[in-house]
Amino acid sequence: MNFNSYSLTKMTKDDKDTTYDLFFGPNHPGMHGNFGYVLDMVGTEINSVKPNAGQLHRGFEKLMEQRGWVQNLTLVPRICVMDPDPNEVAYCMAVEKIMNVEIPERAKYLRTITLEMSRLTSHLISIGGAGASLGLYTPMYWSMADRDRVLDMFEWLTGGRVYHIYNIPGGVRRDAPRGFFKKLNETLDYLESRIPEYDRVLFENPIIHKRLKGLGFVSKEDARKTGLSGPNLRASGNVIDIRKDAPYAAYPYLDFDVITQTGGDAFARAVQIRKEYKQTLDIIRQCIKQIPEGEVHASLGNLGMLKVTPGEAYAKVESSKGEFGYYIVSDGGLKPYRVSVRGPSLPAGFLWAQKHLPKMKIDDVAVWMGTLGICPPDFDK
């Protein structure tokens, strides 16, 4: 007997004994953090979804209002663990706007290099995760091993592998060590040599095409209306990138185009990440070639006792997930008066979960979430 979930749904629509709740997260391997969806299920089909961020509450914004300006740099990377550096840079840029501080040219390039290195690590997780969510585990093993090479470079530059705390108000903590750029170029060459293998095993795989095409469609207009940003926005055909539209750090000096797709579905989002990954390698090479000599941070005195002049500012950056923006208010004291963070995950993880997940099969949830680039700590800040 063909007992598929759709016929089961019709037969048991009003029978409460045949429906059940399924907890997707926080310990499900397809969920990236202590966040969860409570799925109302009939068979393998989702009837309705209730996002549950209760186990994730960290209160980053209120914690930042109780700590010194520089102390907060240990908090902000945790808002998106997979791509932490954009939070550092956006926070520092807001502080620098209030203080009317211009950072040195060399620091701008070092910031851009770390931002793009962080983008590489995040995109590698996304590429590998798309495969693992569909049972293609080889690309995930590859991507995590390749990611470790970038983390090795972060460790050499900053002393940390996952959280770097490298950006500070006024620039960066220290200059790149001798030989760093040469080794970084070698790492980029290696990562680029791996792309054909990812294409062969993952992006040219008929499983990916069958499972992702048509999944989680977002139109060009809806992507903008609902506040999607980053690769999600561009995968629906919107030519929008903060690095181009409101350039910061060294991006005004770099030559790159805004990549877009027109499909608007999970496959288009996966291809968007793949193409932006290659573009990131080129951007870092430009930075290495152009970086000037000079200081790496402006003199702001004892940062541990930093007092930011009264004022308010909003600064935004283009992370691998989309727009991260920091609105900061200073009353002239040793800590922020107010902090509010605008992250990219809320529209995708809350609004589009309500639109996409009902009638979806349970085996598509992990890959749907992965292609939308959802970063759970961003939900409940």
- Reference 72, options 328, 296, 321; nearest CA is 328
CA pair distance 264, 372, nearest whole angstrom: 11
Q: At what angle do helices 105-132 and 85-99 cross, to 10 degrees?
A: 150
CA pair distance 367, 364, nearest whole angstrom: 6
Confidence check: pLDDT of 242 > 90: yes
Provide mean pLDDT across the span 286-305: 95
- Give the model confidence (pLDDT) of 362-373 as tens digits: 889 988 988 998
The contacts of residue 347 (CB under 8 Å, 6+ apart) are 226, 227, 228
CATH 2.170.130.30, applies to 60-343: no
Provide mean pLDDT across the span 267-280: 97
Q: Does the predicted model carry a pTM greater than 0.85? A: yes
| H-only helix segments in the chain | 5-11, 60-64, 85-99, 105-132, 137-158, 180-198, 206-212, 220-225, 231-234, 242-245, 266-290, 345-346, 352-356, 365-371
Are the C-beta atoms of residues 265 and 367 closer than 8 Å to each other? no
Tokens of 234: 């561009």
Beta strands 311-318 and 323-330: pairing type?
A: antiparallel
Strand partners for 172: 167
Are the C-beta atoms of residues 29 and 128 closer than 8 Å to each other? no
User: Residue 72 has what pLDDT?
Assistant: 96
Query: Domain ranges in the chain?
Result: 60-343
Confidence at 2, pLDDT banded by 50, 70, 90: very low
Confidence check: pLDDT of 33 > 80: no
- Give the model confidence (pLDDT) of 68-102 as tens digits: 999 999 999 999 989 999 999 999 999 999 999 99
Burial tier of 193 (Cβ tally within 10 Å: 0-12, 13-18, 19+): exposed
Instruction: Kindly list the distances between the CA atom of residue 145 and the CA atoms of 151, 188, 304, in Å, as whole numbers in the listed order.
Output: 10, 14, 37
